[in-house]
Amino acid sequence: MSEKKDTFLSNKGKRIIIVVFAFILLNLVSYIIDPYSSYWVYYFNRSVLTIAEDLALSFIFCLLISETSIYISNKLNVLISWTEKPLKRLSIETGLNLVIIFVSLVMLDQLYQLLDNPETCIEIHTADQVRGFLQWIVVSTIIAFMIIGINTCNYLIVSWKNAAMKAAALDQLAVEAELQSLKLQIDPHFVFNNLSVLSELILVNQQLGYEYAENFSKIYRYMLVNSKKDIILLEDELKFLHSYMFLIKNRIGEGVIFEVSIDKENKQLYLPPLTLQLLVENALKHNKTNKKNPLKISIYNTDEQTLIVENMLLPIENQLESSGIGIQNIIRRYDLLWQKQPEIIQNETTFKVKIPLIKQ
């Protein structure tokens, strides 16, 4: 799923409109603040060339203020989030814009002095100069904050839309995972096989039958409670997996061997729920489980915060082509949840899936 990362002011056409609007606003507000200043009283008494130079410098100034404000906003969108640190973001963005405005005004003032023609220039008193400089600071600050406001509002709206789209996609995938778990629950073979094993165990060993029933209920409880969640602790997923493996071992016997070795630190990381169950189920579905040559399924972690589910390849003869729904569901959920993707490695003897563990 592709996210919309462009903001309103990343469009060049819309940015030109903002610059023109800022240019009009600059002159309009300057006039409204002090319409009787010498600048406006003698505005049309100057030569056409001087007026053109004045307008060009004003437009360049507006362009500079607009572009720098947009540049600062775009850079800070990457470094400091509005939603996570709003006060810090506001302080830094405001401070940077005020510095840019002040420096730009000083540069503009120097340009005016360089372009000034003594024969046509109107003499302005020091008080008028200071007042005009302060007016430009006020108007420039208004323009900068207008741009900040437009960019910020659009950034938050786009972020909200992306979050909503991501949440909707995650909900869809959660439903798919839940359907997979429900399919397992209502699968007549799964239910019949486990109930058959349970009835036999009760006749032979009541204590083992009780433990089997307990683990059977834990599986159902876990699926009902956690299948809709986005992520879950690896520690909780492993508890569920132990119950699932308990049923498999008592149903299949010595036809399958499980090896689980996970560091304590990695158990506090996260992954999508039912990930391990889907991978173990995939291994059992496509491979033989023979007492003489048991299927070995290993689950372990690496130092790279990666969980590995590995199984021997003992393919069933004449098996139906796999739909790959389980593994595809895991990959798609990771695409939405984390920057890293599961990695599938297969050779002549083994099938391995590397699952990145998620930091919360």
- Checking if the pLDDT of 186 tops 70, the result is no
Q: Read out DSSP for 135-176?
A: HHHHHHHHHHHHHHHHHHHHHHHHHHHHHHHHHHHHHHHHHH
- Checking if the pLDDT of 256 tops 90, the result is yes
- Checking if the pLDDT of 310 tops 90, the result is yes
Q: What is the percent of the chain with per-residue pLDDT over 90, rounded to a whole number?
A: 17
Q: Which tens digit of pLDDT belongs to each residue from 70-122?
A: 788 778 877 887 777 878 888 888 888 888 877 877 777 666 666 554 444 44
CB 177 within 8 A of CB 274: yes
More confident site: 300 or 64: 300
- Checking if the pLDDT of 321 tops 60, the result is no
Candidates 222, 333, 319, 321; CA nearest to 277 is 222
- Checking if the pLDDT of 134 tops 90, the result is no
Q: Which tens digit of pLDDT belongs to each residue from 202-241?
A: 777 888 888 888 888 888 788 778 877 788 999 999 999 9
Q: Return the minimum-mean-pLDDT range out of 115-119, 137-141, 258-262.
A: 115-119
More confident site: 37 or 291: 291
Candidates 211, 352, 337; CA nearest to 273 is 337
Task: Report the C-alpha gap between 292 and 313 in whole angstroms.
Answer: 15
Average pLDDT, the chain: 77
Domains of the chain plus CATH, in order, are: 8-166 (no CATH), 187-356 (3.30.565)
Candidates 248, 258, 278; CA nearest to 184 is 278
Q: Using the CB atoms, write b or e for 91-110: b if 16+ within 10 Å.
A: eebeebbeebbeebbeebee
- Checking if the pLDDT of 298 tops 70, the result is yes
pLDDT of the residue at 146 = 76
Candidates 269, 291, 280, 279; CA nearest to 337 is 269
Helix H or strand E segment including 230: none
- Checking if the pLDDT of 132 tops 70, the result is no
pTM of the model: 0.50
Name residue 260's beta-bridge partners.
299
pLDDT of the residue at 10 = 59
Candidates 358, 339, 329; CA nearest to 271 is 358
At 183, the pLDDT band (50, 70, 90 cuts) reads very low
Task: Report the C-alpha gap between 268 and 221 in whole angstroms.
Answer: 21
In the chain, count of helices (H) and strands (E)? Answer: 10, 7
pLDDT of the residue at 120 = 42
More confident site: 232 or 25: 232
Local structure of residue 315 (DSSP, 8 states) = B
Task: Report the C-alpha gap between 262 and 156 in whole angstroms.
Answer: 40
At 6, the pLDDT band (50, 70, 90 cuts) reads low
